[in-house]
Structure 1
Amino acid sequence: MTYEDDFNEFWKTVEQSIEAQAFAKLTMAKTIGKPELKNIFLRPLYGKADFKVLLKYSFRPRETEDIEEEMTLEAALPIIKAHLKSAFLSVLLFTTEKDVTFKISKKGVGSITEGYPTFKNIIPAE
């Protein structure tokens, strides 16, 4: 099983958390090296018609302004995938039900772990 297979399983959990209206935040972490890009965050934008996310690129030098984009979850997926294993080795899903962590080992093997929820309430992006 490749890390891509494990990530696809992880992403199903992301989609299920949105369907259950439990999605609180998604964070890419554990950077490779010391890149300028420090984190990528997805925050929920629960609208009347459809669900969207606010994708935020957070940079290490304070002088560099963060970049935010509103998009669908489907549009965010290729962005998240493009940064896996090239810039980040882990993705953390925070829901009101549980926290789920996807990690890629140095050998390129993926793993998924679950823990108690960090968030009790959802704070939508503005």
Structure 2
Amino acid sequence: MTYQDVFNEFWEQVKESVEAKTFAKLTMAKTIGKPELKNIFLRPIYSEDEFKVSLKYSFRPRETEDIEEEMTLEDALPIVKQHLKSSFLSVLLFTTEKDVVFKVNKKGIGSITENYPTFKNVS
């Protein structure tokens, strides 16, 4: 099974957490090398009519200002995929029910692990 197939399973859990209103945050971490881009965060923006995320690019040099944009979860998916395996080796989904970690190893094999939730509430 390729890492893309495993990532698709992971992304299904992301969508399920949004539908269940348990989505708290998504973080891309474990950078490859020492890039300027330190993290990418997705934070929820819940409203009565629609769900959007605040996508934030966090940079390593403090002089570089972070970039933040509002978009749909579907619009964020290609951005996450673009940076996966090129800039980051892991994506962490934080929900109020569990934390789900997607990792790609050096051989390009993906895996998913689950842990106890970090967040108790969605802010």
After TM superposition, the score normalised by the length of structure 1 is 0.97
State the 4+ residue runs in structure 1 displaced beyond 6 angstroms: none
Amino acid at match of 2:21: Q
In structure 2, the residue matched to 1:24 is 24
Distance 2:78 2:47 in 1: 22
Shift of residue 14, structure 1, vs aligned partner: 0.1
CA RMSD of the aligned region, Å? 0.3
In structure 1, the residue matched to 2:61 is 61
In structure 2, the residue matched to 1:15 is 15
Distance 1:9 1:48 in 2: 27
1:51 to 2:51 alignment: yes
Amino acid at match of 2:36: E
Shift of residue 47, structure 1, vs aligned partner: 1.1
Q: Secondary structure at the match of 2:112?
A: strand
After TM superposition, the score normalised by the length of structure 2 is 0.99
Aligned sequence identity (%): 79
Q: Secondary structure at the match of 1:62?
A: coil
Shift of residue 48, structure 1, vs aligned partner: 1.6
Q: Secondary structure at the match of 1:113?
A: strand
In structure 2, the residue matched to 1:95 is 95
Amino acid at match of 1:110: G
